[in-house]
């Protein structure tokens, strides 16, 4: 009886307002995206930021998350209003030479992301069981491929929610064991600061939070709800639900990313430790917080690596399938090929990395360099009436998106300047 009621309630798309129950039942796509920016690449960037600069770079997590909320909502807006993911829309509405170039760069970014995710999971396996990095990477890749081949979106969402919960609880426990300087943290969250030599870390934090593959992923997975796109009222109704999902999920990501920097600042920076690898971070926590803290750290890292590898594989499959004007479908050869290219190319790269921690940081920096390309692609598509119809970006929304794109581009120019000079 209850099941029938819930099924009926789930399909009532024109109910006014946003009750707590209604919001909860739509949570899922946003969390799939959120896990992408609490991945091992974020761990490396955030631990480096906290151990090197204390609380000074917390502002970058705040700024990145604000930009992320706007961009992810806009990407989901595209998926709901047009029925196309970002990759499909690019293929349908751009010249083939341009769309293939842009989407190829997005595939490279997805591979870079997957490399960081798989590598992080392998590092966690080494921490927990002493498994060599390369063997651990193979194990993580095999598990992720199995999860992608055998699970639907809805099943994957349950896996992801479980993983995110474990990660969040782990860092809450870590924070209760540390003496955090909350006054300095509050200043750090809102006051921009560019300490000497920090641009690489700042850009890696940006690339770790605002990730190109997540924009493609959100526009794809948002369609798994099978909404009636012919009814304008339904579209408006779902956009409200989607924004609630995105906002809640991104704020969860902000809290977890902030907690990583807080843990690193309180445990390492305050004690004069500089972390150069994640395994070192786990060992440094042990004498400061006890054996349970290091165990929690490793388990949370493993969960983050597996979950984020799933989302990066989904994104790669979606991007590649979109090149052929097709939606993601793991039963289709193009989606399977995209997943395979993303995960196995990343695995191959791992076999040639000599310094895993630096590899994680530079992979995130690479994402920040590709990010403006994806942002300006998204702005072009969502500002087009041909693509979006009545749901085209408003002038105010377009201005905000352009500001974000210009900020990201400006930070990349600053990175290039600091690297060359």
Tokens matching residue 91: 């293929």
Q: How many Å apart are CA 119 and CA 356, to the nearest integer?
A: 7
pLDDT value of residue 237: 64
pLDDT value of residue 33: 67
| Mean pLDDT, each 10-residue run in order, the chain (421 residues) | 35 41 49 67 83 94 91 89 90 94 93 88 90 95 89 64 75 83 94 88 79 83 59 65 79 87 90 77 71 79 85 91 90 92 94 76 75 93 92 92 91 72 62
pLDDT value of residue 293: 75
Tokens matching residue 361: 């940081």
Q: How many Å apart are CA 415 and CA 68, to the nearest integer?
A: 20
pLDDT value of residue 212: 84
- For the chain, the domains span 30-420
pLDDT value of residue 13: 40
pLDDT value of residue 31: 62
pLDDT value of residue 400: 94
Element (H, E) at 130: none
pLDDT value of residue 324: 93
Contacts of 408 (CB under 8 A, 6+ apart): 67, 206, 210, 368, 371, 372, 375
Using left for φ > 0, alpha for ψ between -120 and 50, and beta otherwise, residue 28 falls in left
pLDDT value of residue 151: 67
pLDDT value of residue 2: 31
pLDDT value of residue 20: 39
Indicate the class that CATH gives domain 30-420.
Answer: mainly alpha
């Amino acid at each position: 009886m209850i099941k029938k009621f819930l099924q009926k309630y789930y399909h009532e798309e024109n109910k006014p307002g946003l009750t707590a129950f209604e919001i909860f039942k739509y949570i899922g796509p946003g969390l799939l995206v959120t896990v992408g920016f609490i991945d091992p690449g974020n761990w490396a960037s955030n631990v480096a930021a906290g151990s090197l600069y204390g609380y000074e770079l917390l502002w970058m997590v705040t700024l990145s998350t604000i930009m992320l909320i706007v961009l992810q909502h806009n990407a989901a807006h595209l998926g709901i209003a047009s029925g196309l993911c970002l990759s499909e829309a690019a293929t349908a509405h751009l010249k083939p030479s341009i769309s293939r170039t842009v989407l190829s760069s997005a595939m490279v970014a997805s591979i870079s992301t997957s490399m960081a995710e798989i590598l992080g999971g392998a590092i966690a396996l080494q921490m927990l069981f002493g498994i060599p990095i390369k063997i651990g990477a193979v194990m993580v890749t095999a598990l992720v491929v199995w999860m992608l081949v055998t699970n639907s979106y809805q099943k994957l969402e349950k896996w992801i929610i479980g993983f995110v919960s474990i990660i969040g609880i782990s860092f809450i426990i870590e924070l209760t064991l540390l003496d955090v300087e909350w006054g300095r943290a509050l200043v750090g969250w809102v006051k921009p600061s560019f300490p000497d030599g920090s641009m690489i870390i700042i850009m890696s934090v940006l690339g770790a939070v605002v990730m190109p593959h997540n924009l493609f992923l959100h526009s794809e997975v948002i369609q798994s709800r099978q909404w009636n796109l012919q009814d304008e009222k339904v579209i408006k109704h779902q956009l409200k639900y989607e924004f609630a999902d995105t906002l809640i999920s991104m704020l969860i990501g902000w809290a977890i990313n902030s907690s990583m920097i807080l843990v690193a600042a309180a445990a390492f920076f305050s004690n004069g430790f500089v972390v150069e690898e994640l395994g070192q971070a786990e060992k440094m926590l042990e004498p400061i917080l006890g054996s349970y803290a290091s165990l929690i750290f490793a388990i949370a890292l493993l969960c983050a690596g597996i979950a984020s590898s799933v989302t990066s594989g989904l994104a790669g499959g979606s991007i590649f399938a979109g090149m052929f004007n097709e939606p993601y479908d793991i039963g289709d050869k193009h989606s399977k090929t995209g997943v395979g290219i993303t995960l196995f190319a990343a695995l191959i790269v791992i076999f040639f990395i000599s310094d895993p921690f630096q590899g994680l940081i530079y992979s995130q920096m690479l994402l920040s360099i590709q990010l403006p390309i994806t942002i300006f692609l998204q702005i072009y598509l969502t500002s087009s009436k041909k693509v979006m119809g009545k749901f085209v970006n408003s002038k105010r929304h377009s201005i905000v998106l352009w500001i974000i794109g210009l900020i990201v581009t400006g930070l990349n120019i600053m990175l290039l300047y600091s690297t060359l000079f």
